[in-house]
Amino acid sequence: MKITFVLPYAGLAGGVRVVAIYAELLQARGHEVMIVSPASYRWPSRRKRAWHMLRRLARSAAGRADPSHLRDVSVAHRRIAHAPPIVDADVPDADVVVATWWETAEWVAALSPSKGAKAYFIQHYETHAGQPIQRVRNTWMLPLGKIVVASWLADIAANEFGDRNVSIVPNAVDASHFTADPRGRQPRPTVGLMYSTKHYKGCDICLEAFDIAQRRVGELDLVAFGVREEPAVLPLPRGAKFTAQPDQAILPGLYASCDAWLFGSRSEGFGLPILEAMACRTPVIATPAGAAPELLAGGGGVLVRPEDPADMAGAIERIVSMSDSDWRALSEQARRIASEYTWNDATDRFEAALEHAIRSGRTGAPGASAA
């Protein structure tokens, strides 16, 4: 197949990383793959456009590229210099063209048939604050073959938009990279989290839970990583060990330095850090967002009530107070569950969904096959 992925931008978002993984794995299977993205996602004003251009020039002069999950990817990446939208002239003729975000779904829907059958890879339902809710909802009604990363997204397609012809392709984890040796609890109780100031990510819930648990447990350390640190907006507690824009090579060590990983999202498409932490033998304490209910159904962590820092704090206290043997058993269960989600299996499903989108596109039938 000739496959084109259309990204809204080439940055450090988790969704970009997932697209990069699929692009490389599909190319390794012999498919001809290209990624297309605007050079900059939004240029809402001349002033901001000038600022982005100056920053890019400064990074270029310093010999640094903009941070992106596509930086070391071997797949062809066409960066479009003009402001969005992506149009026919930007995209090669192909068998299938894949939108990867609600706005790219609008762009892909407007492309000519020669650009390929049209698929919509849905990694979230972006109706949270800051997004144009009705435009997002409208993209779910476009005649694009839908591929979703979790059952809750398939439920939305069915229950809100009457579309039951949707492929479910859960994300996965590279268990050869995200791994850690069997171990006992940390010498000093430690929990970790992915830091973000976005409200829907629920970092404030995790930090409040940490504060409550620390007062109960006494000694309790915090490890965090994120795209950037903004302590003035959502300060981390004193003594927290924070890593900004960590290289993928050091992520397993960050996860493995913790007795539990906190996931407090109010809204999430999948929640890849859950799998990554579990693969590193770190139990997860999660709110029921994204794929957390499915991933933790068999153990490997604790599901807590949404918007309830006290409940999360109680789970922290229980896990860091476990006997060493009980904690080791929970740790091993987390690893076993994570190892069931392989990128090879996920790529099998994704490949099949694209093939179905091509067949459906030829007959004019929207949607991808259920999986």
How many angstroms separate the CA atoms of 238 and 220, rounded? 11
Q: 200-225: per-residue pLDDT in tens?
A: 999 999 999 999 999 999 899 999 99
Which is more confident, 39 or 308? 308
How many angstroms separate the CA atoms of 104 and 275, rounded? 27
Q: What pLDDT sits at residue 13?
A: 78
The predicted model scores a pTM of 0.86
Q: What pLDDT sits at residue 205?
A: 98
User: DSSP for 128-152?
Assistant: STTS-HHHHHHHTTSS-EEEESSHH
Residue 60's pLDDT band (cuts 50, 70, 90): very low
Residue range 77-85: average pLDDT?
Answer: 93
Q: 100-129: per-residue pLDDT in tens?
A: 999 999 999 999 999 999 999 999 999 987
Say how many C-beta atoms besides its own lie within 10 A of residue 345's C-beta. Answer: 13
Contact 96, 3 (CB under 8 A): yes
φ/ψ of 119, rounded to 5, equals: -120, 160
Cα atoms in the Cβ-side hemisphere of radius 13 Å centred on 247: 3
Q: What pLDDT sits at residue 330?
A: 98
How many angstroms separate the CA atoms of 312 and 285, rounded? 7
Which is more confident, 156 or 51? 156
Would you identify the CATH topology of the domain 190-338? Rossmann fold (3.40.50)
Q: 298-339: per-residue pLDDT in tens?
A: 999 999 999 999 999 999 999 999 999 999 999 999 999 999
Q: Report the percentage of the chain scoring pLDDT > 90.
A: 80
Tell me the two tokens of residue 309: 């820092």
Q: Report the percentage of the chain scoring pLDDT > 70.
A: 88
Locate the DSSP E strands across the chain: 2-6, 32-38, 76-80, 96-99, 117-122, 145-148, 167-168, 190-194, 221-226, 241-244, 260-263, 284-286, 301-303
Mean pLDDT score across all residues of the chain:
90
Is residue 248 predicted with pLDDT exceeding 50? yes
How many angstroms separate the CA atoms of 308 and 306, rounded? 5
How many angstroms separate the CA atoms of 21 and 14, rounded? 11
What is the 3-state composition of the chain as percent helix, strand, coil, each rounded to the nearest 5?
40, 15, 45
Residues in CB range of 364: below 8 A, 6 or more apart:
none
CA angle 141, 143, 145 (to 5 degrees): 105
The CATH classification number of 2-172+343-363 equals 3.40.50.2000
Residue limits of CATH 3.40.50.2000 in the chain: 2-172+343-363, 190-338
Q: What pLDDT sits at residue 72?
A: 80
Residue 66's pLDDT band (cuts 50, 70, 90): low
